[in-house]
Amino acid sequence: MGEQSALLTLKIDTDEPVELRDFVGAFTSLANEFERFVQTSYDDIKSEPQMYVREVRSGCIEADLFTGLAALAGAAVQHMDQILILEDFVKRWGQRFTFLSKGTVPVGELETMRELKDWADAAKSIASDPVAGHRLEAADFVDGKKRVRASFKFSAPDARTALQHIEDRKKLLNRPETKAYKRVLMVFTRSDVNNSKTGKRSGELVKIEELSEKPMPLVYGSELAEDQIKHEIRESDDNVYHKGFMVDICVKVANGGRPVAYSVTTLHQIIDIGD
């Protein structure tokens, strides 16, 4: 395992057996978060964390995280630097878990699915156990004696609450955003004479070339716009596929900026675009 003057220790106190995947996830999530922490907080330090289970006894699992901290130039990180980094990490860990357990995650925090998965894995190991606890400690050694420098603990109820907020945050990150455009030319590639519920996909497909070459599902964002457009589909003598509709729309955008649907809110003009 190599020599290290400071380390992180994870203790999981349980009354019930821990499912193997949750057991492994508790440790790997910690290692992943520590590596992420070092990458984003220290430009001149790298980490290759390794987790070793030190003791398993009735009601308790204890493991040490050997962080593999080193300066990018190749020199060892000094003892004082090590313990300060680990203390900082435990404080950061506790702060972020507290955000999740209270559902008060600030803007810019926990913005990726991978981070949220790691936090869910950290909580799952104790969530189903009524009296379980999860404790993370940063410690160093003085004259051969272990000295705890920072500590954070959460309980099974905290874990269950955090898991619910993690799921809520995943849904928030996956929720389509919208971008508004005025007076864009929309043409139909598939039409339907039937009405649809306002705000729901209609089953029709339209193309707006200045936004995307691909046809997109159409949503009617207002009853007036739907009535006007449906009139052209049902009752006009002209072929709807030979018409262009000058409209205001909201583009529903998936995570990553990809458009997934057009919601038409206002019809301004109908023009003949020919065959």
Cα-only R_g, the chain: 28
- Cα angle 140, 143, 149 (rounded to 5 degrees) comes to 25
- pLDDT, tens digit, 9 for 90 and up, residues 143-152: 888 899 999 9
> Percentage of the chain with pLDDT > 70?
92
pLDDT in tens, 104-159: 888 678 778 899 999 999 999 899 888 899 999 999 888 888 899 999 999 999 99
pLDDT, tens digit, for every residue of 159-212?
Answer: 999 999 999 888 877 766 678 899 999 999 999 888 877 778 888 999 999 888
| pLDDT of 2 strictly over 50 | no
Inter-CA distances, 32 with 29, 67, 113, 153, 219, Å: 5, 11, 13, 19, 41
> Is pLDDT above 90 for 91?
yes
Return the percentage of the chain with pLDDT > 90, whole number. 44
Please give the pLDDT value at position 194.
Answer: 85
pLDDT at 78: 76
What mean pLDDT do residues 18-24 have? 84
The CA-atom distances, in angstroms, between 109 and each of 88, 112, 115 are 17, 9, 10
Distance CA(252)–CA(226), nearest Å, equals 18
Domain ranges of the chain: 6-174, 177-272
Sign of the CA dihedral running 259, 264, 270, 274: positive
What is the model's pLDDT at position 238? 86
Report the run of H or E that residue 63 belongs to, with start and end. Answer: strand 60-66
Q: 146: helix, coil or strand?
A: strand
Within the chain, how many helices (H) and strands (E) appear?
5, 12
